[in-house]
Amino acid sequence: MMSISRILVLFVSAISAIATAQNDKMTPISTPNQPNAIVLGTGQLPEATADEAWHSQYGSTFARNVKIATLTPFLPAKGKATGAAVIVAPGGGFLTLSMENEGWNVAKALAKKGVAAFVLKYRLRPTPPDMAGFEDSMKRMFSGTARRPAGTQDPATELAPQIADAVAAFQLIRTRSQEWNVDPNKIGMIGFSAGAMLTMSTALYGKDANLAFLGNIYGPLNSVVVPTNAPPLFIALAADDPFFGNAGFGLIESWKAAKHPVEFHLYEQGGHGFGMYPKETTSTGWFEAFASWLRMHGYIKK
């Protein structure tokens, strides 16, 4: 799978390109009220020193310097719950988290379908505490003048803290499954960009996670060694994605070769990071396609 160092470089490139095109600067905001967020108890990253910070950009809300992982439930109305649940992992290059576009809005849409959704705010690599310092560090990393983090090329090692956060989320949901009207055997995970990489890594290396299904939304599609108990896989990607649109489809081929269910939607346009943004491209239809796929597998009532 793609290393974290490579993901960081791609993410910084994306921020620079999109910000230039839209002239949409990062604006610091107060930490939103998160009354339902549950601390997962995976501890604090040793290298994390700056306080968690939030900002707005592209009309959405982002978090960074997350050093304490949390899980926020979005539960369906009583009588509508199907028993299925999804952990939602936002993206952001492991430097920030797109909490609104790829987190809360996805979870709310799933809850309307009767699926209990849980937004995972996983721990991130530290960034400068002030916005000016953060923006400068991003520019320097993109220009190549900053020292990039050493990568082990082993996602199980590089993403160990984040995988631990995801596994803890699965354990918490199963512990409180009766309270939340969730079937412990029907818990899946969906991730976006870096969150898709975490989702895949959780399926491959997260012991005791036992995903019922997984969704990879514009994440890396590198070939992998597929576990014998691999769950059904849903993938959505835009052909004009500047990072993964022309990187091959090894993940799909791996899943097919292992004779496990896989569904792949390649949209003509959409770029990277479309998430729940309303766009004039067919990529906007990925969510209903995902919901139909869940319905086909019995996780949403007909």
pLDDT per position as a tens digit, 113-128: 999 999 999 999 999 9
- Across 200-292, the runs of DSSP E, i.e. the strands, are 214-217, 233-238, 262-267
| Average pLDDT rounded to a whole number, residues 41-61 | 93
User: At 142, is the pLDDT very low, low, confident or very high (cuts 50, 70, 90)?
Assistant: low
Q: What are the residue ranges of helices labelled H in the chain? A: 4-22, 105-112, 131-143, 155-158, 160-175, 194-205, 250-257, 286-296
User: At 19, is the pLDDT very low, low, confident or very high (cuts 50, 70, 90)?
Assistant: very low
- The pLDDT score that the predictor gives to residue 20 is 42
| Cα angle for residues 239, 244, 250 (degrees, 5° grid) | 100
Q: Are 97 and 62 spatial neighbours (Cβ–Cβ below 8 Å)? A: yes
Place of tokens 């969704």: 215
Contacts with 121 (C-beta within 8 Å, 6 or more apart), sequence order: 37, 63, 66, 69, 70, 71, 72, 90, 97, 99, 103
Q: Are 51 and 23 spatial neighbours (Cβ–Cβ below 8 Å)? A: no
- Which domains does the chain show, CATH number per domain? 4-296 (3.40.50.1820)
Question: Kind of pairing, strands 53-57 and 60-64?
Answer: antiparallel
Give this prediction's pTM: 0.92
- Using one digit for the tens of pLDDT, what is the confidence trace for 156-203? 899 999 999 999 999 999 999 999 999 999 999 999 999 999 999 999
φ/ψ bin of 239: left (φ > 0), alpha (ψ from -120 to 50), beta (otherwise): alpha
Place of tokens 């000016």: 132
- The pLDDT score that the predictor gives to residue 135 is 83
- The pLDDT score that the predictor gives to residue 77 is 93
| Average pLDDT rounded to a whole number, residues 101-109 | 98
Return the half-sphere exposure (C-beta side, CA atoms, 13 A cut-off) of residue 265: 21
State the greatest distance between any 2 C-alpha atoms of the chain, in Å, as a whole number: 56
Can you read off the two tokens belonging to residue 140?
A: 């320097």
At residue 56, does pLDDT exceed 60?
yes
Question: Kind of pairing, strands 27-29 and 53-57?
Answer: antiparallel
